[in-house]
Amino acid sequence: MKIISFRTPGLGDQSHLLVHEGRGVLVDPQRDIGRFLDTAAEHDVELRFVLETHLHNDYVSGGGQAALRTGAELVLPAAAAAAYPHTPAFHLEDIAGGDGLTVRPIHTPGHTPEHTSYLVLIDGEPVAVFSGGSLLVSSAGRPDLLGPERARTLARLQYGSLHRLAALPGGVGLFPTHGAGSFCSVTGAGRHTSTIADEQRDNPLLALPDAEVFADELLAAPMPIPAFYPHMGPANILGAPAIPTRRPPETPVEEIPENAHVVDIRPRAVQAAGFLPDSTGIALGDDFGSWAGWLVPYGEPIVLVAEPGQDVTEARTQLARIGVDDVRGVVRDLGGRASAGFELLGLADFLGRMPGAR
């Protein structure tokens, strides 16, 4: 058995592919499923299960499409009640995968009410647990993403869930979905994977004495919630279509639709030299999609401004991960309309210009 993890740095998340005896278990895949299915094919793996730990708040799941493409069995927490065919996972009701592979659901509410972790057993021996947004490396999943009214109740539940997972054998590998850089984590999570023994020893949240103190700790200084998060849960309940394959057309600057939001993905230094007034500048990088989802009104059409020759595929993929598909066009030439600009400063120069600086 081996586990291949796929990092998505801009969202602070990872998906996992467990391989055993030519069969695969894909856990919490994001919407751009090609990278997971290509890896499965490279390892000559038949996908047996697609597991979802919860209704994700930070991205649109690709689980349904991965199952449709491969014929794998899609498994979701029973309480998720998603509006498409799936196998409901009930607490401690084992799911047999053949060749000694067993998936054991463990109800771990807290990050969300329906949240379920999956313990994998090989020939009856527990070897790995996929903990989603429950027990994280040196941290835990946030309990406040569904609103402040439910946050304390979910925090208390999270306390019990963390200790339930921490009671597993120490040698069990821990493979969470959320990690460093994720707004679904209550603190800056550490490594991407761990073991139960390491968390028993090092996770500070497991040392808190009771559920009330734990809730106080998690809710003392809540982080902001990205603006696109409230749209992710409903999308994952209803199920998302495959990512559109149509390439957005090259668009002259004078033909930008009036109702479209212009997002400039060129490097920051290029934007500084001149950009379209009223455009939103988000240089293309790992976190482009998160910033676009935060700054651009969700679900409204977008036109990208890119350099000549700049590949917009990555920008479209990051937008698709959060369910933004309406990219109307790509502008490559600003045609002399870049009437705004700004000065770039290093940190030292910026601080030197602050009022009172010496």
Per-residue pLDDT tens digits for 282-338: 999 999 999 999 999 999 999 999 999 898 999 999 999 999 999 999 999 998 887
Predicted confidence at residue 182, as pLDDT, reads 62
Give yes or no for residue 203 having a pLDDT over 90.
yes
| Res. 250: pLDDT tops 90 | yes
Highest mean pLDDT among 9-18, 67-76, 245-254: 67-76
Closest of 224, 199, 11, 221 to residue 117, by C-alpha = 199
Q: Tokens 């390892």 correspond to what residue?
A: 43
Strand partners, 15: 6
Residue type, 292: A
Q: Is residue 190 predicted with pLDDT exceeding 60? A: no
What number is the average pLDDT over the span 112-133?
98
* pLDDT at position 209: 97
DSSP symbol at 245: -
Tokens read off for 259: 């109702």
Q: Which of 29, 27, 69 is nearest to 51 (CA)?
A: 27
Task: Report DSSP state, residue 152.
Answer: H
**pLDDT (mean) for 43-69:** 97
State the burial class of residue 186 (Cβ atoms within 10 Å of its Cβ: 0-12, 13-18, 19+). Answer: buried
Question: Residue 191's pLDDT band (boundaries 50, 70, 90)?
Answer: low
Rounded to whole angstroms, the Cα distance separating 82 from 71 reads 18
What is the predicted pLDDT for the residue at 185? 55
Assess contact for 323 and 276: CB atoms under 8 A. Answer: no
Q: What is the residue-averaged pLDDT of the chain? A: 93
Rg (CA), the chain: 22
Average pLDDT over residues 21-39: 97
Q: Which of these, 198, 175, 178, 199, lies nearest to 188 by C-alpha position? A: 178
The lowest-confidence range among 9-18, 222-231, 330-339 is: 330-339
Assigned token pair, 302: 């977008």
Cβ count within 10 A of residue 232? 24
- Is the predicted pLDDT of residue 77 greater than 70, yes or no? yes
What are 197's two structure tokens? 């023994």
* Cα gap 284→320, rounded to integer Å: 14
Amino acid at 337: R
Show the beta-strand stretches assigned E in 299-338: 302-305, 327-331
Place of tokens 């030299």: 273
